[in-house]
Amino acid sequence: MVRAGVVGLLSGLLPCGWLWAFLVTAAGTGSALGGAAVMCAFWIGTVPALVAVGLGAQLISAPLRRHIPTVTALLLIAIGTFAIVSRPTSAVAAVTKHERTSLGAVPDPGTDQSCCDHRSVQPSR
């Protein structure tokens, strides 16, 4: 019973827009029974779809199961290679853009800055 309660409370931390929408709606009912009814409706609507996706993935992947580690390794190598090859160009471009936009943002310390001149500030009374 405690375990189910903890899992139920932690499910609110899932990054699912629909879940958050139903949680807000359930909280907005103002009663425990109304909130439970809203969450029950959410559960009835999502569990069959999630079970179908899980079973479908198992059925589709069964013949391919022995190839999955090789395909995954190749995808990781390809994504890593792409990240290494494309990163330096975009990083250099970002630094160059930052340097161009920030050059005029910092005033020269030798110039007169009236906003920082303490003699021009009138004392409050």
- Look at residue 103 and tell me if it is in a domain: no
Q: Which residues, 6+ apart, have CB-to-CB distance to 38 below 8 Å? A: 22, 25, 26, 29
pTM to 2 decimals?
0.39
Q: Which residues, 6+ apart, have CB-to-CB distance to 25 below 8 Å? A: 38
Radius of gyration of the chain (CA): 29
- Look at residue 106 and tell me if it is in a domain: no
Mean residue pLDDT of the chain comes to 79
User: Do 50 and 30 reside in the same domain of the chain?
Assistant: yes
Residue of higher predicted confidence among 116 and 43:
43
| Structural domain boundaries, residue 83 | 64-93
- Look at residue 21 and tell me if it is in a domain: yes
User: Do 57 and 69 reside in the same domain of the chain?
Assistant: no
- Rounded mean pLDDT of 45-53? 89
User: Do 68 and 31 reside in the same domain of the chain?
Assistant: no
Report pLDDT digits (tens) over 84-111.
887 655 556 666 665 665 555 666 666 6
User: Do 32 and 56 reside in the same domain of the chain?
Assistant: yes
Check whether 47 has a pLDDT greater than 70.
yes
